[in-house]
Structure 1
Amino acid sequence: MNFDFQTGEQNPTPPELAVVIPVFNEQDSIQKVIGEWIPELEKWCSNFVVLAIDDGSRDHSLAILYQLQEQFGKRLVIITRPNRGHGQTCLEGYHYAGKLGARFVFQIDSDWQCDPRYFPAFWQIRNRAFVISGVRTSRDDGWKRIIVTKTLRLMLLLAFRVDCPDANVPYRLMQTEAIQSAILRIPEDFHLANVALAVLLRRDKSVTHSYVPIGFRERYGGEPSVKLPLFGRKAIELYRNIQTMLTNQAKSIQ
């Protein structure tokens, strides 16, 4: 049995796929994103639900989501919450996917950078690995973002001895059951929670991985959650947070 968050009742048929889309001040892009993704998903999976999680948007994002819900019905579930940041919003979506009983959870962003044309490659190999991540081999959002991704990979490799080819990529298809223990280990105040999840899953030898090359479009309106001038400070904060998380978990095991 799984829980239907729209009716508040138990539903005996869980979705095969739950798609997590965190939304924060994306009024310019969210209609384009939902409007292109749901038709693409319908080509490959008959039983799925899109979880649009509004993270305390201050623009018209939430109103647009409710308009889209009138169009797509039960395909689109809207969840609202006070602002806690992109990473923690993703984690909440993964928790919801587990409560729904979805076998797979897939995450994309709401800024239009995630192109649905790559989804079939993920779905066709969904049973080959517990975690299938996109690797951004081409990007339309500028060379500076490429440097950030490469720097992050090097930092994680040197500091924690884990090789995450694209640790903060939003394009991930995961077996829901396989990630539940990892998401419970991420503190509620961890800002870049998706990077923490990538590290934990790579450190877990029981979790298998596969990678699919993808392209990344330029964002459509809005602003990125981590601005480039703040990258250095965020990198130091990320290092400290991961170190603290791993240290605390090691102590709890002893």
Structure 2
Amino acid sequence: MTNPPGLSVVIPMYNEELVIPALVARLRPVLDALDETYEVVAVDDGSADATAALVEKHRLEWPQLRLVRLRRNSGHQAALTAGFHRARGEFVVTIDADLQDPPETIGDMVRLSRDENLDVVYGVRSDRSTDTIFKRNTAGLYYKLMRRIVGPDLPQQAGDFRLVRRSVVDVLRRMGDQVPVYRLLIPSLGFTSGTVSYVREKRVAGETKYPLRKMISLAWDSTADFTAAPLRLATWLGMTAFAGSLIFMVFGVVVWANGTVIPGWTSLFLAVLLFAAVQLICLGLLGEYIARIYRALQNRPAFQIGYDSADVTETPVVAAVPAQRTPATMP
């Protein structure tokens, strides 16, 4: 068995065939210039395009490139988990394929970790002007909320571009979270950490893999995985509804005692709607947590690895590389 590399770069990919040529052209010179042995672990998250085939094609000229292919699309965090499980380096860097996080920052992360003996180095976005106003504002609200939940150890504007040491990876691999939110989980573990700032760039090609629906899902997963506050909110909503019902009861008794006709169905209709809505919200929040407990008890794997190019006994099954297409540029 060969000695493990000093650095592993984990890149989750989902339908990124337009990005791969630019990614390889930019990432390889950066890593070759480092005084580190390295590997690049490209995790294909069940892509429906030629992502896996293109990675295999580039492997012929870049021996440090590995392809880990999941059997189906399991999600970004699950792909990161697969990368953590398969990476062999003393340092593991996670970065997205779209080149919005500059690969040139990886060298700064490694040097900072070595010089200050840090377990984690976060990439922090100092400038997000390439993002839309809506995304910048919602991201700001997300990090404010998460800092209240996780604590001040969570860096502002730190996503999934980070470096961790092998000791952190070993802890992450032992944890039983089905699909952890690493941008919150890693800061909550209390490892020594530092930050490296960078300017967030435009996506080099293709479309974002985090539309509004997935952003909302990430925010909910982040909240539900790290706090029971929504259940407490349901309790407070129930108490508020109960207090409101008492007020309506007192009002009804007073009106009846004074001989005044109680207003008709409008007030009753609105009150029933209000209390029914509160009950449904509370039941929905409770059901969401019960569903998470149910999934945890099932203990089904969050992902299945179908192929790893580092396993010589496996035979890759990938689609043929399609005819070259001109990469689309972001507006």
Structure 1 unaligned regions, length at least 5: 1-9, 249-254
User: Cα 1:113–1:84, aligned 2, differ >3 Å: closer, same or farther?
Assistant: same
User: Cα 1:204–1:236, aligned 2, differ >3 Å: closer, same or farther?
Assistant: closer
Q: 1:121 aligns with which of 108, 118, 125?
A: 108
The aligned counterpart of 2:50 is 60
Deviations 1:63-89 (A, max 9, x none): 11111111112x101111121011110
User: Cα 1:163–1:16, aligned 2, differ >3 Å: closer, same or farther?
Assistant: same
SS of 2:205's partner is: coil
Q: CA deviation at 1:23?
A: 0.7
Indicate yes or no: 2:185 matched with 1:204.
no
Q: 1:93 aligns with which of 48, 59, 83?
A: 83
The aligned counterpart of 1:224 is 208
Indicate yes or no: 2:200 matched with 1:213.
no
Aligned partners of 1:60 and 1:227: how far apart in 2?
A: 22
8 Å contact from structure 1 (residues 162, 202) kept in 2: no
8 Å contact from structure 1 (residues 179, 201) kept in 2: no
8 Å contact from structure 1 (residues 149, 166) kept in 2: no
Indicate yes or no: 2:175 matched with 1:185.
yes
Aligned partners of 2:122 and 2:142: how far apart in 1?
A: 16
User: Cα 1:80–1:39, aligned 2, differ >3 Å: closer, same or farther?
Assistant: same
User: Cα 1:224–1:241, aligned 2, differ >3 Å: closer, same or farther?
Assistant: farther
The aligned counterpart of 1:111 is 98
Higher strand share: 1
Deviations 1:21-61 (A, max 9, x none): 11100111112112211111111134100001111111111
User: Cα 1:91–1:233, aligned 2, differ >3 Å: closer, same or farther?
Assistant: closer
Q: CA deviation at 1:186?
A: 5.1
Q: What does 1:23-102 correspond to in 2, within 5 Å?
A: 23-73=13-63, 75-81=64-70, 82-97=72-87, 100=88, 102=89
The aligned counterpart of 2:248 is none
Aligned partners of 1:126 and 1:138: how far apart in 2?
A: 23
User: Cα 1:240–1:176, aligned 2, differ >3 Å: closer, same or farther?
Assistant: same
Aligned partners of 2:90 and 2:157: how far apart in 1?
A: 23
Aligned partners of 1:232 and 1:200: how far apart in 2?
A: 18
SS of 2:61's partner is: helix
The aligned counterpart of 1:6 is none
Structure 2 unaligned regions, length at least 5: 229-288, 294-331
Q: CA deviation at 1:160?
A: 3.3
Indicate yes or no: 2:2 matched with 1:17.
no
Tell me the C-alpha RMSD between the 2 structures.
2.3
How many pairs does the alignment contain?
227
Q: CA deviation at 1:162?
A: 4.3
So what's the TM-score if we normalise by structure 1? 0.81
So what's the TM-score if we normalise by structure 2? 0.63
